[in-house]
Structure formats: C-alpha cells, structure tokens
C-alpha cells in the first residue's frame, strides 16, 4: 500500500493539484475536502497519521461549554453544527454522551441550568438531547462514585464523544476512497519555488532515506504544533512567531471510578479550569490541564503541576486518591493556539486561522477536532484560489466517512469504530483462528486488528498499532508494553520486515511507552482542602 504510493510519486511527472503537509485532523480534513471536489490530492506526514495532538484529545466532539461562558458564540455555534454533521457522517465513530454537572450550591442550579439550556438551543435541529435539572438523588444515582458531601443537585446535558485516532484513520481511508493519496513517514525537507512561487516540495522517505521532488499547484502547511517549522522553510517567522503552545494532560483510571454511562463535567475548578471525567472504551478518562509550554516535542510528558492538579481534583470529587497502579495510562498533547499578546493560553480562542504567504504557501492552524471539516473547507477555498484551480464546491457537509453504517450501535465500542469494515476484520479470524486471540488479557483488542492495521491502514510500527490503530497504549500502558513483543512478531511478518528491524522497532516503542506509566514517586499531591469543591 505505502510502497505503491511511493512508486507512484517517483514515476508521475505532472503536478498534483493540492499537496498537504501534515496528517493530523487539520491536514486530513483539508485533503478530504480537496479530493471531494475532484482535485488530485496528495498528503505527506513525517510521522504517523494523528501521531501528535490529534490522537491526544479529551475524546469529545463538542461545542465547548467554556467558550459559551466566554461569550464566543460564533465558535460555539459553528462547533455545535459541526458536531451534528460529524455524528451524521460518522456514526460508527461519534455518539451521544450524557454529562452531569453537580451543583454544590443551590444558586449554581439556575446559573448552569440556563447556560446549558442555551447550549442546547444553539444546536437547533442538530441537538443531541434536552438538558434538565436533576435532584440530589438523581445526580448521585447517575454519578454513584462521586463524593456526595455538599451535592445539592445537578444539570444533565448532552454532547458528543468520539475516538480521535480512529477518526483520523477513517479520514485517511475516505481520502483514498475519493481517489486521493496519503503517505506516512515522508518528510517535507524543502519547498520548491519557480519565480518566487512555491511549486512543490522536496521530500524524504524516512524509512528508505530517499529524496525526491513532488510538484503541486498549491501547497498547504497543516502541521499543527510544527506549523512554524514549515514556515521557516518558506523564510517565515521562527518558533513563537505565530503560536502560543498549551499542554493538556489526561489520566486514565479504571471504570470503577465512574461506573455507568454518564460523564462528569466540572465547569469551573478552583483555578477556573474545566474538568471532565469520561467513560471511554471501558476506562475513565480524566482531564484536562492547560499549561503554557515553550518547546515542541513529539512525545510531550506530563508536568508535576499537571499531575498534582489531576490527582488533587480526582481526590476532591471522588473522595478517593488513585495509586500509581490505578493510573492505567497518562498522556499529554500540545495545542496549537494562535498567539495574542498578553492573553493566557487558557483564554485563547480555538478558532482557526488561515494565512497565505507571498510565495503562495497556504498555512492553516488553530481550531479543534470538532470543526475539522469546516477548517478543511475554508482552507481549500483559499488553496483553490492560490493554485488557480477550477472553482468547485465542497462536498464534505453530506459526505459519509469510510466505514459509515446505519447498524453500528449494537457492537462493542472497541469494534464499532470499524463500521462497515467490521465483518472483514472479523473474517481474518476465520482465515487464521490464532488471530482471534486477544493481544493481552487486560485489553479488548485481538490479533486480527494488528493484521488489519498493517494491510489496510498503513500501520508501519508497533507504536502505530498499539497507540493509534488500536488504543492500547492510551487505555493501559503496562498491558500495551507486555503485549508489544507479540505484536512486533506479527507486524514484522505482515510487513516482511527483518529481525533487526523488529528488535529496533520494539525497543523504540518500549522507550516511548515508559512515558505513559506513572510510578509512586511521580504522585505527590499538594495539601488541598477537599471540602472546598467547585461552586
């Protein structure tokens, strides 16, 4: 699959209509939009699809309740509409989730009740359900594990939940269905120019180290937190010129911390942040933090301040402090926020920004997963003009993503993400019964998913399989580490890799996976008055 694309790149002399650099939510969304208009489209990604920010979200397709409080109604309205379109176009990946906001003062009930009713009204016909006030008894029934002291009642509302990395894979497959091409582990190392205008890129295959030129009528810089690196290739500003980076960290806890199917939302913690505890793939995800950072890294690690914040608030709202063994995984992601002088990262808008340089490089940054489709549409509107492409409308508003099916609700959550491909995935076990074995006793995934990922989803490494094609590393890092050798054996066989490659790739994965595991020495909560819960 990947080899065929590389051969195609090496033999085709004519320019592509659209060349996208970056395989996260933004780049994949732009590439799908371009291909939906009939433009010859290519996407290159120097790591794996969704490797960065796009696989490290809070797993919510939402309008953004905190942006409503900031009165950013334009962003909330657009995000709520896009949430509805996403649920319609990818029901195998996105679903309705009930949230409860516990109230610790009676005055909080009308305050948040009215705000969440407005949130519901703004979604209009695309609403996921009615918000309503809950009694103390109903609140504790829906959230039986939270600390009951001081709870006066609650507010129920609805939002969307999704699997971010699996949505990235669905967009990759959709791009291919539309006739476009995408390839991972190919880096843009230079921009080609003719008469001062960009005419393509020089790319390096990071697996084979070969260099080759790719011509295109327009090039899009959709590199997320790395967007400034691509701008420097064009002679633009360096680090800090455009982005203010913010880091968000999540803890993954056993489902016993949040039994049932209702999520917890704290709209304003003691320091003004929003906190979620969410059921996801059989675990509880708690987050997120918002810490400004100055350096981009492919594997950001949680900061002590973030760990203290999460640990303190878990103890505060659940009256239970998790041990290191109970923290199944910890992951961190960087947000590419557009810089505004004197504004804290927690206050920066998630609106997207599109820039066109004098050379014709189209740069898109900012935004969030929920609005990826609209970001892609706006980007290709600009790109078509820059590249003098035939004017054609976007088709993505009604475009069903790869795997779309009307009958995905009855399947287990970890299998539902395959949608219409699920029968074929299961069929691998009929061919080879040993593929029906789980990759690990504590994980829901089976060996057949490894084979499917290698054959059909361009998974090249153990990390690709365990972090993004399955979500093993994000669900239980210790189990993923224990499963890795068997996965490496199977992946090496499927990909016709050498023993040396297998050993080196496994070593790289184990080194990465260590960062998702916390030890007791990492958990030193600061003294907190746990009775002073959010009001």
Domain harbouring 9, CATH code: 3.50.50.60
Domain shared by 424 and 495, yes or no: yes
Look at residue 190 and tell me whether its pLDDT is greater than 50.
yes
Q: Which of 153-162, 208-217, 234-243, 460-469 has the lowest mean pLDDT?
A: 234-243
Look at residue 239 and tell me whether its pLDDT is greater than 70.
no
Residues paired with 91 in a beta bridge = none
Nearest to 78 by CA among 365, 433, 352, 476: 352
Q: Which band of pLDDT confidence, cut at 50, 70 and 90, is reported for residue 284?
A: very high
Domain that holds residue 140: 71-156
**Which of these three, 105, 137, 156, is where a domain ends?**
156
Domain shared by 238 and 375, yes or no: yes
The answer to whether position 407 is within a domain reads no
The answer to whether position 285 is within a domain reads no
Average pLDDT estimate for 120-132: 90
The answer to whether position 304 is within a domain reads no
Domain shared by 437 and 379, yes or no: no
* pLDDT (0 to 100) of residue 435: 97
Domain shared by 364 and 493, yes or no: no
pLDDT in tens, 397-410: 999 999 999 876 66
Domain shared by 384 and 434, yes or no: no
Domain shared by 146 and 172, yes or no: no
Domain shared by 374 and 457, yes or no: no
Distance CA 247, CA 13 (A): 42
The answer to whether position 529 is within a domain reads no
CA distances for 448 relative to 89, 409, 419, 436, 476, angstroms: 26, 21, 16, 6, 19
The answer to whether position 98 is within a domain reads yes
Task: Tell me if 122 sits within 8 A of 78, measured CB to CB.
Answer: no
Average pLDDT estimate for 155-180: 97
* pLDDT (0 to 100) of residue 268: 81
> Angle 74-31-339 (CA atoms, 0-180°, nearest 5)?
45
Please report the DSSP string for 366-381 in residue order.
Answer: E--GGGHHHHHHHHHH
* pLDDT (0 to 100) of residue 535: 44
Look at residue 231 and tell me whether its pLDDT is greater than 70.
yes
More reliable by pLDDT, 113 or 341 = 113
Number of domains in the chain: 3
Task: Tell me if 73 sits within 8 A of 183, measured CB to CB.
Answer: no
To 10 degrees, what angle do helices 108-123 and 73-89 make?
60
pLDDT in tens, 345-400: 444 455 788 999 999 999 999 888 999 999 999 999 999 999 999 999 999 999 99
Look at residue 237 and tell me whether its pLDDT is greater than 80.
no
* pLDDT (0 to 100) of residue 411: 82
Contacts of 209 (CB under 8 A, 6+ apart): none
Domain shared by 418 and 498, yes or no: yes
State the DSSP code for 257.
G
* pLDDT (0 to 100) of residue 343: 46
* pLDDT > 70 fraction of the chain, expressed in percent and rounded: 94
Look at residue 426 and tell me whether its pLDDT is greater than 70.
yes
Look at residue 202 and tell me whether its pLDDT is greater than 80.
yes
Domain shared by 429 and 502, yes or no: yes
The answer to whether position 85 is within a domain reads yes
More reliable by pLDDT, 321 or 461 = 461
Distance CA 445, CA 450 (A): 9
Task: Tell me if 259 sits within 8 A of 316, measured CB to CB.
Answer: no
pLDDT in tens, 67-103: 777 777 788 888 999 999 999 999 999 999 999 999 9
Task: Tell me if 316 sits within 8 A of 326, measured CB to CB.
Answer: no
**Mean pLDDT across the chain:** 91
The answer to whether position 146 is within a domain reads yes
- Give the CATH number of the domain where residue 486 resides: 1.10.8.870
Domain shared by 44 and 92, yes or no: no
* pLDDT (0 to 100) of residue 218: 98
* pLDDT (0 to 100) of residue 533: 54
Domain shared by 422 and 480, yes or no: yes
Residues paired with 477 in a beta bridge = none
Q: Which band of pLDDT confidence, cut at 50, 70 and 90, is reported for residue 344?
A: low
Task: Tell me if 440 sits within 8 A of 482, measured CB to CB.
Answer: yes
pLDDT in tens, 489-526: 999 999 999 999 999 999 999 999 999 999 887 777 55
pLDDT in tens, 289-331: 989 998 899 999 999 999 999 999 999 999 889 999 999 999 9
**Which of these three, 109, 125, 156, is where a domain ends?**
156
* pLDDT (0 to 100) of residue 340: 62
* pLDDT (0 to 100) of residue 399: 98
Q: Which of 70-74, 228-232, 417-421 has the lowest mean pLDDT?
A: 70-74
Distance CA 487, CA 493 (A): 10
**Which of these three, 110, 126, 156, is where a domain ends?**
156
The answer to whether position 530 is within a domain reads no
Distance CA 324, CA 125 (A): 44
* pLDDT (0 to 100) of residue 367: 86
- Given the structure tokens 């953004």, which residue do they identify? 64
Average pLDDT estimate for 473-486: 98
Domain shared by 375 and 433, yes or no: no
More reliable by pLDDT, 430 or 521 = 430
């Amino acid at each position: 699959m990947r080899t065929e694309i590389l051969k195609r790149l090496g033999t085709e002399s004519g320019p592509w209509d659209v060349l996208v650099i970056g395989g996260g939510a933004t780049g994949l969304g732009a590439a799908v939009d371009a291909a939906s208009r009939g433009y010859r489209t290519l996407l290159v990604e120097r790591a794996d699809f969704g490797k960065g920010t796009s696989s490290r979200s809070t797993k919510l397709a939402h309008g953004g309740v905190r942006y409503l409080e900031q009165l950013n109604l334009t962003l909330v309205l657009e995000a709520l509409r896009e949430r509805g379109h996403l649920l319609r176009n990818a029901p195998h990946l996105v679903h309705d989730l009930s949230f409860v906001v516990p109230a610790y003062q009676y005055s909080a009930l009308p305050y948040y009740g009215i705000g969440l009713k407005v949130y519901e009204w703004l979604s209009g016909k695309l609403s996921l359900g009615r918000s309503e006030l809950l009694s103390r008894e109903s609140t504790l029934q829906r959230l039986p594990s939270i600390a009951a002291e001081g709870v006066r009642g609650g507010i129920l509302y609805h939002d969307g939940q999704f699997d971010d990395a699996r949505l990235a894979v669905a967009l990759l497959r959709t791009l291919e269905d539309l006739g476009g091409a995408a390839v991972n582990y190919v880096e843009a190392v230079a921009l080609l120019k003719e008469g001062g205008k960009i005419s393509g890129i020089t790319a390096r295959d990071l697996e084979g180290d070969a260099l080759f030129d790719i011509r295109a009528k327009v090039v899009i810089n959709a590199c997320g937190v790395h967007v400034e690196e691509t701008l420097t290739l064009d002679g633009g500003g360096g680090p800090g010129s455009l982005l203010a980076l913010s880091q968000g960290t999540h803890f993954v806890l056993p489902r016993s911390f949040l039994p049932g199917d209702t999520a917890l939302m704290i709209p304003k913690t003691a320091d003004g942040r929003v906190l979620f505890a969410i059921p996801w793939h059989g675990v509880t995800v708690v987050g997120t933090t918002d810490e400004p950072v100055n350096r981009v890294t492919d594997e950001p690690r949680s900061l002590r301040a973030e760990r203290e914040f999460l640990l303190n608030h878990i103890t505060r709202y659940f009256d239970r402090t998790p041990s290191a063994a109970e923290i199944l995984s910890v992951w961190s992601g960087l947000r590419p926020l557009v810089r505004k002088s004197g504004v804290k990262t927690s206050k920066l808008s998630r609106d997207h920004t599109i820039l066109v340089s004098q050379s014709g490089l189209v740069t898109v940054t900012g935004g969030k997963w929920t609005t990826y489709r609209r970001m892609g549409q706006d980007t290709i509107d600009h790109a078509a003009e820059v590249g003098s492409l035939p004017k054609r409308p976007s088709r993505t508003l009604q475009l069903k993503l790869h795997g779309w099916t009307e009958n995905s609700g009855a399947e287990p959550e970890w299998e539902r993400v395959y949608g219409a491909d699920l029968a074929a995935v299961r069929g691998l076990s009929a061919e080879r019964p040993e593929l029906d074995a789980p990759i690990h006793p504590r994980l829901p995934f089976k060996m057949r998913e490894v084979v499917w990922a290698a054959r059909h989803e361009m998974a090249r490494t153990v990390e690709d399989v365990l972090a993004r094609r399955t979500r093993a590393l994000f669900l239980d890092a210790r189990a993923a580490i224990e499963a890795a050798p068997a996965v490496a054996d199977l992946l090496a066989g499927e990909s016709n890799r050498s023993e040396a490659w297998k050993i080196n790739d496994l070593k790289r994965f184990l080194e990465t996976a260590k960062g998702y595991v916390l030890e007791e020495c990492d958990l030193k909560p600061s003294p907190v008055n746990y009775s002073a819960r959010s009001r």
